[in-house]
Chain A
Amino acid sequence: MCKKETFLYNPSNQEETFWQGVNDCLPTVLGYLSIGFAAGVLEKTSGLSLAEIALMSILLYAGSAQFIAAGMLALNSPPSAIIFTIFFVNLRHLLMSAAVAPYFRHIPLWKKVVLGSQLTDETFSVAMTKLVGKESGSFHWMFGLNLTAYLNWLLANIAGGIFGEWIASPSTYGLDFALAAMFIGLFMIQWTMRKKYRLDLIVAMSAVIVTIVGSIFISESTGIVMAIVIAASIGVGVETWK
């Protein structure tokens, strides 16, 4: 990656349009449809109305945070405890936002706020498969990607709230594995694209080990953040010593 900024970004580039972004989001739709549906069911059973479910998906827009909020609401946890927990669960977004930042130096502040507010695990990963090796990213493309994921999430949550009670467990159809399969796909695409097989494997194995240790001894959400920070540092260390 060059340090000097030379903007190769060309707004008329075919690959960078809003609709291309929408298109690039489609493979993730199925995975998040089932997770959103499950979140909607849980929110409904924890006593939220359909309007509240919709509001939660629109404002919070975070799978794990909504699961936790619904679960803690059902247990009558105080709001401060819910907010505190959600803050920790979503700390990984800090790192994703930082990783995307170098590609969006050229866009105005309000556009950065728009893109950042809709950053999720999968839109981040899809974006990175597109951005790796480039100087900068296209706002319109990323917005198309984000908006598709956002609407899909909202609809899935509402559908879960409406139909949840009548539909048999999604696990019978293997749908509960959609999210894991999506992470597998995103990981493999990153790994084969970067062509730094050994280095990336060391980073990945470090992340696996730290995630296990951190999740057991501290908590699952802290384990994730620890794993990312330590594994990325190991990656830089290996690169430096080689």
Chain B
Amino acid sequence: MLLGASAVTLLPRVLPLVLLSRIQLPEWGLRWLQHIPIAIMAALLTQELLISDGAFAPSWMKLMAALPAFLVAYVSRSLLGTVLTGIIAMMLVRLVF
């Protein structure tokens, strides 16, 4: 089981890196790939904050903790600062509510 699961995890990680760097992508393909980081982060964040067990279920506590994290990220552009702000904000939100 573990070997099979590892194989299906490994292949999507490695194959594009190996194959795509051999061929020259068209310009629109490169532009398409450049949108992927923003799209992935937005999608993962949506699942963290708004989705629960396959249903649309916004977590108000998480959204409240997310607000200061967004602000600190925008002002400081520091990843560590954002993570710490988020953790502390979540702790405070739980204390208050």
Interface residues of A in 36-76 (CB under 8 A from B): 55-56, 59-62, 65, 69, 73
Interface residues of B in 28-47 (CB under 8 A from A): 28, 30-47
Do B32 and A180 have beta carbons less than 8 Å apart? no
Please tell me which stretch of A9-17, A117-125, A149-157, A158-166 contacts chain B, meaning at least 4 of its Cβ atoms lie within 8 angstroms of it.
A117-125
Given contacts A60-B9, A95-B36, A236-B35, contact A112 B17 (CB under 8 A): yes
Give the complex CA separation of A128 and B38 in angstroms: 10
Query: How many residues of A are counted as interface, with CB atoms below 8 angstroms from the partner's CB atoms?
Result: 99
User: What total count of A-B pairs have CB within 8 Å?
Assistant: 301
From A65, A99, A184, A231, give the contact of B86 (CB < 8 A).
Answer: A184
Nearest A residue to B10 via CB reads A117
Do B38 and A27 have beta carbons less than 8 Å apart? no
Nearest B residue to A106 via CB reads B21
Give the complex CA separation of A187 and B37 in angstroms: 8
Given contacts A90-B12, A93-B9, A211-B51, contact A180 B86 (CB under 8 A): yes
Do B44 and A86 have beta carbons less than 8 Å apart? no
Give the complex CA separation of A1 and B31 in angstroms: 8
> Which secondary structure characterizes the binding site on chain A?
helix
Give the complex CA separation of A92 and B78 in angstroms: 26
Extra 6 A-B pairs, beta carbons < 8 Å, given A105-B21, A204-B41: A97-B13, A174-B88, A174-B89, A203-B38, A211-B46, A212-B51
Interface residues of B in 8-28 (CB under 8 A from A): 8-10, 12-21, 24-25, 27-28
Do B35 and A216 have beta carbons less than 8 Å apart? no
Q: State which size class the interface on B falls in.
A: 35 or more
Binding site for B on A (CB under 8 A): 1, 3, 26-28, 30-31, 55-56, 59-62, 65, 69, 73, 79, 82-83, 86-87, 90-102, 104-105, 109, 112-113, 115-119, 121, 124-126, 128, 132, 171-194, 200, 203-208, 210-212, 215-216, 219-220, 223-224, 227-228, 231-233, 235-236, 239-240
Do A231 and B17 have beta carbons less than 8 Å apart? no
Point out which of B2, B66, B78 has the most chain A C-beta atoms below 10 A from its C-beta. B2
Do A231 and B79 have beta carbons less than 8 Å apart? no
Do B13 and A128 have beta carbons less than 8 Å apart? no
Residues of A within 8 A of B44 (CB): 121, 183, 224
